[in-house]
Structure 1
């Protein structure tokens, strides 16, 4: 007679061991670094004369909360997904956000007036609209 195998039990200790491995994951390290760079460039762009945006504590707080929630989701759920044996899908999640934050960083640099190649400014809507006005 066939006995079904029980579903894998994932307890706190398994999650904790997987969470400790996060610092060894280059995708996660890149994810955290790029979030910090996006926060810094988002804050600094308000100080540049070429920017039509100014430093605003409400906008800064909203951005900080948004970034913290996204990083928190990654910190909580990545180890869980890793315990399920699906770490590659969790890495795809991180790669997607690395790309999104990379676009945001490039937009922030363009808003600050830092020269960027035309093929970048032509493909990013915020920078294209800005160059059309000038």
Structure 2
């Protein structure tokens, strides 16, 4: 029984190390990253519900759950985290602290819009003003990321 406890502690220590290293590489476990990961999780779960329960997904021909579409979604979310990693490295290289938060906020708005789309497919009502606000935030951050000189 003691051997099982040692194995469990070893696995937990290894997982803690891996998640700590990944979090540090992404710039730290601040509110921006927490909200982004939370939104990514909710978006993925609502996407699964739309496909599995409502069968209205626009990611598959039948609208039903499809493993390939789900894997593509996870790959896209991994790509987003890669961009957060690059932004964190840019912040470090430039000695600034605004690139990573801008990238996080852009993708938070993007994920929130996707959540609203999923909820709409489920028939959940929400105020149009909320969607407009998220779209405006996404557009503003998109402009800032493109470097088009817009400040507001």
TM-score normalized with structure 2 length: 0.59
In structure 1, the partner of 2:83 is 73
In the alignment, does 2:91 pair up with 1:82? yes
Structure 1 residue corresponding to 2:103, chosen from 68, 84, 93: 93
- Unaligned stretches of 5+ in structure 1? 1-15, 124-134
In the alignment, does 2:69 pair up with 1:63? no
8 Å CA contact 2:52, 2:65 repeated in 1 = yes
In structure 2, the partner of 1:11 is none
What pairs up with 1:1-134 in 2 under 5 angstroms? 19=25, 22-23=28-29, 25-49=30-54, 51=56, 53-74=63-84, 76-83=85-92, 84-119=94-129
- Unaligned stretches of 5+ in structure 2? 1-21, 58-62, 134-152
8 Å CA contact 1:51, 1:113 repeated in 2 = no
CA distance in 2 between counterparts of 1:65 and 1:109 reads 22
> What RMSD over aligned residues (CA atoms) do the two structures have, in Å?
2.9
SS at match of 1:115: coil
Q: Which moved more, 1:52-61 or 1:113-122?
A: 113-122
Higher CA-based Rg: 1
Total equivalences in the alignment: 106
